[in-house]
Structure 1
Amino acid sequence: MSTATVANRLVSLCREGKFEEAQRELYAKDAISIEPQEMSNGPMGNVKGLKAILEKGQHWAESVEAVHNNEISDPVVADGWFSVAMHVDATMKGRGRADMREICVYHVKNDKIVQEQFFYDVH
């Protein structure tokens, strides 16, 4: 599977809100997830391994009260890398409504995502 194929499949599933399905299908078992330095610790911080990435996703899903808008750009692909812009407008439990925008960069090796890294401003 080419990087473009992996990228397009990830975008397709994420646009449908199927984030966990995307991770189970497209991520390597030893994939890593990297957040901005200010957010690198804690349950939503940097993790290694598909199990930890799935747990991180579950923790995020449990913190969301309602999603009002979920947008993912078409991917930009270069060799084994691709990036997308994500925009989520959601009401977070106990925190109110949040308008979140980020750039997500993925590295693909042997037909699987081996790294995801997120770039966003921490407010």
Structure 2
Amino acid sequence: MTSFAIAVICALGLYATKPNSHASEKPQTVTATSPERISETLARSITSRLFPDSAFENAELEKEHGRWTWAVYLRPQGSNRVQQIRVEALTGDIIASETKTPSMTGDAARRVEDAQRQR
């Protein structure tokens, strides 16, 4: 996890500790059924550092190749292209970045077009 992501998570208070008011009590072990994922807001914040003058288009939490990722779509200022940035949902690491053009086909193109119509 990047130091920026750790700082943001700590600042948002996602990790909270409970003081042990009974020193004689045994510490409890908590078993998580699933790891915590970063929020869409944090994924957007992480990606906006790469493209600071970009407008947010859309974000989707997706499971690809067995791992959860945020697909964040940003439109650079003055461009007709959309930048798709993949953020690993458990660590906040950027794992891929791809430029999408209006002439592309497939699900990603439909998502971009839907986001534009919703504005």
**TM-score w.r.t. length of structure 1:** 0.37
Larger strand percent = 1
Q: Which has the higher contact order (CA 8 A, sep 6+)?
A: 1
**TM-score w.r.t. length of structure 2:** 0.37
Larger radius of gyration: 2
